[in-house]
Structure 1
Amino acid sequence: MEIVDFFLGSALNAVDAKGRVSLPSDFRSIIDRRARAAAAAGNTLDEKTISLGEHEAHPCLQAFDATYTSILFKQLQRRVEGMDGVDAMMALDDAQADAFGAMSPVSFDAGGRMVLSPLLRAIAGITDLAFFVGAGQTFQIWNPQRYLETQSDKKRNCRNLEFLLAERGGKA
């Protein structure tokens, strides 16, 4: 299934002591539209669950809905096909274990409330605020201060985050 709805924009949401945070409504709308498109194509997806885990390259969490899972698998296949001198099946198995084994299914309710486990919060350094960043087919969840420190070359998103932090009356 080709994805035609993308995660756009950013949001800054509070995280409580138990790790509860709200998935931005724009992101929930994308997940819902993708699930409806999949249903129309004959595929039933859980529209209230996302996959969430450590990002492969950045100090944040990566998240996606079920429609992206097959795309990720195909990307892993292509990555392995480009390797020379390796057992393709073993390399694909290892790549899948690394990518999918690092993800956890996380459910959210109708209001978008979900719980970030202590492990997920520790991986991303998330405490009282979570910065959600649309990344097209997926989205990321950041500790706001970590985003500003490590992604300073992303001027537009840094300005957005600084504005959102100022609206809350503080810094990350």
Structure 2
Amino acid sequence: MAGMFIGEHTFKVDGKGRVSIPADFRRELEEGDPLAAQSGRPRMVIVYGHDKQKQLIVHTYDGYRRLAADIAALPRGSEKRKIMERMILNRARPTEVDADGRLVLPQPLRDKIELDGTAYFAGLGETFEIWKPETHAAVDAAVTEKWLEEQGDDFDPLSLLDDMGV
């Protein structure tokens, strides 16, 4: 199973919305698309979500298909399914890596996250996110500071695994 997007990267976005995809992320995208070996251009799905979402969430092609199957497995007509269909299935855009290892972000997606000259890539395991760097820094600082205040100065993030019985 593909899905080890880790680390952080920052790349320039050109006037046409082209941005290089980190090489290690491209390898994961290739592993997550069964047709990538034939085409040389791995597919992915960008979820741009609700209006308040400040980042783009990028799934491998297979990862998104699994997510869509999980949504389809919810009871037909249930509130959870309706919301997930609207926020994840309806507000998504399939695309592929271009021949130069770049992603072309259409203007509406760049406008949504206020992306101008630089994109910040945040690896999150099964997915990665694309942010305006300043927005990511502000959101990350707010979340981290609040969490650390609640946990104390000697907090070890690995201790969260203990809560899961791991």
TM-score, length of structure 2 as denominator length: 0.71
Structure 1 contact 53–120 (Cα < 8 Å) conserved:
no
Amino-acid identity (%): 24
Match of 1:145? 134
- Map 1:38-117 → 2, pairs under 5 A: 38=34, 48-55=42-49, 58-76=53-71, 80=74, 88-91=75-78, 92-117=81-106
Q: Is the 8 A contact 1:46 1:66 kept in 2?
A: no
Deviation string for 1:71-91 (max 9, x for gaps)?
31354357x4xxxxxxx3113
What is the CA distance between 1:111 and its match in structure 2?
A: 2.5
- Relative distance call for 1:154 and 1:15 in structure 2 (3 A) is farther
Matching of residue 120 in structure 1 with residue 109 in structure 2:
yes
The letter for the 2-side match of 1:25 is A
Deviations 1:38-64 (A, max 9, x none): 57xxxx999522111325674111001
Residue identity opposite 2:57 in structure 1: Q
* Change in 2 beyond 3 A, CA 1:5/1:137: closer
Q: Distance in 1 between matches of 2:62 and 2:40?
A: 10
Aligned match of 1:11: 9
TM-score (ref. length: structure 1): 0.69
Contact 1:8 1:135 in 2 (8 A): yes
| Post-superposition offset of 1:110 | 3.3
Q: Deviations over 1:108-131 (max 9, x none)?
A: 223211211111101111110000
Superposition CA RMSD, Å: 2.6
C-alpha distance in structure 2 between counterparts of 1:114 and 1:5, whole Å: 18
What secondary structure, in the 3-state scheme, does the structure 1 residue paired with 2:6 have? Answer: coil
Q: Partners in 2 of 1:7 and 1:45 — Cα distance? A: 22
1:85-108 Cα offsets, whole Å, 9 max, x none, are xxx311335522431111111222
- Residue number in structure 1 paired with 2:163: none
1:142 partner amino acid: W
Residues 133, 55 of structure 1: CA spacing in aligned structure 2 closer, same or farther, 3 A cutoff?
A: farther
- Return the offset for 1:4: 4.6
How many residues are paired up? 139
Residues 139 and 13 (structure 1), Cα distance of their counterparts in 2 relative to 1, 3 Å cut: same
Cα 1:13–1:154 shift into 2, 3 Å = farther
Gap regions ≥5 residues in structure 1: 81-87, 156-172
Q: Secondary structure at the match of 2:66?
A: helix
1:34 deviates by 2.9
Q: Which runs of 5+ in 2 are unaligned?
A: 146-166
Structure 2 partner of 1:168:
none
Which of 4, 25, 31 is 2:23 aligned to? 25
1:67 Cα offset (Å): 1.1
